Amino acid sequence: MSSKKYPLSGLRVLELAGLAPGPFCGLLLADWGATVLRIDRPGFVPTGDLLTSHKSSIALDLKDAHSQEILLSLIPNTDVLIDPFRPGVLEKLGLDPEKVLLKTNPRLIVGRLTGFRRDGKYSAMAGHDINYLAVSGVLSLFGPRNLPPSPPQNILGDFAGGGHAAFTGILLALINRQVEGRGQVIESNMVDGASYLATFPRLLTQHPLGNDERGNNTFDGGCPYYSCYECADQGKYMSVGCMEPQFYQQFLKGLGLEPGEAVPGDLDREDKRAWPFMRELFARRFRTKTRKEWEAIFDGTDACCTPVFELSELKAAGYDQRPISGLSKTPAKEIESPYEGKALRPGERGEEALKEWIGWRNGREYAVNAQGAFVKRVRSQL
């Protein structure tokens, strides 16, 4: 094991296996130095989860008492448990966070992460990112006018409003534990997480910047100087965000336009009646050069005009993935591979983890059954 110190070095996390938000929360903890042990379902085939960097796995059948006993034996040595299940699942398994888990370890932090609110009308229903964004009001913000809303991949619900929000809650609980000496249960859900991220757009609904229909506002694609334009090489785009007058002037200079040419008649650029004319004018100009040619014009200026890189272009452009924050004294672990997620096989590196966490060895305190589940050996087997 590395002796290097990270911000969360020494923190032990049990991540009950799920997809997307729960594993992302565990990944953030692992990247910053926590020891993350994922609890997988029994089996020998890797799951579809690719957010496995710096993690280990054991396979437990939580409906089996001998297998569940291993989880309960780990709890006294655990700082954080990530619960990605629907409301009531842990309780049905006899693992109620307040009545069982925190009674076993009062310093434990249980991060519970659901899609819908636990107390809302959809709490018992299945859902995905698009559904959580829909009922949070956030989905209504995305997409061109006069067309249905467009889901922004699953970034805002699963990862920002879900996994990252849960990570933030865990960090807050860890700070509180330093003061009060005890853990607690954290209730996170993707509806409230995404809704909180949309605080500013919600406030803008009472302001001229954002009080119009979707696609007609400053930051949602309506404004011609806060938008994207296709270049001469089809499928390549430049982004424009020159809100301030001095930046707008530099933008027009790069396009080879005088201020009076960019707006019709005696209108100014903030008048929405001028926007269709401006958009068409800018679109025609951008189609006269390739993206590389526009980069050469705008690089090094304050025109707020930059290329829209595709994910496959980031490395060559010098913008490959880095940790979410750069700490000068206690940085995150290295990102193993930004483009090649590795599925973790249930039980992978699990024997080493159990030995490190509680000193158990395969064949002595536990065994692995034919289904791949780790089970505690009963006294008659010892």
Catalytically active residues, by annotation = 158
- The structure tokens listed for 294 are 């526009």
What sign does the CA torsion over 94, 58, 70, 43 have?
A: positive
Q: Which helix (H) or strand (E) holds 58?
A: strand 55-59
Tell me the C-alpha distance between 240 and 231, whole Å.
13
CA pseudo-torsion sign 115, 118, 124, 125? negative
Given a contact cutoff of 8 angstroms between Cβ atoms, the answer to whether 301 and 315 are in contact is no
C-alpha–C-alpha distance, residues 33 and 35, integer Å: 7
d(CA 93, CA 263): 66
Q: What distance in Å separates the CA atoms of residue 44 and residue 322, rounded to the nearest whole number? A: 32
Separate counts of helices (H) and strands (E) for the chain: 13, 11
Q: Give DSSP secondary structure letters for 178-218.
A: HHHS---EEEEEHHHHHHHHTHHHHHHTTSTTT-SSTTSST
Q: How far apart are CA 362 and CA 348, in angstroms?
A: 13
- Bridge partners, residue 239, by sequence: 228, 306
Helices (H), the chain: 21-31, 65-74, 89-92, 102-104, 129-136, 165-180, 190-197, 199-204, 245-255, 259-262, 275-286, 291-298, 350-358
Cβ neighbours for 172, distance < 8 A, ≥ 6 positions apart: none
> What DSSP assignment string belongs to 238-262?
EEEE--SHHHHHHHHHHHT--HHHH
Q: What is the three-class DSSP state of 368? A: strand
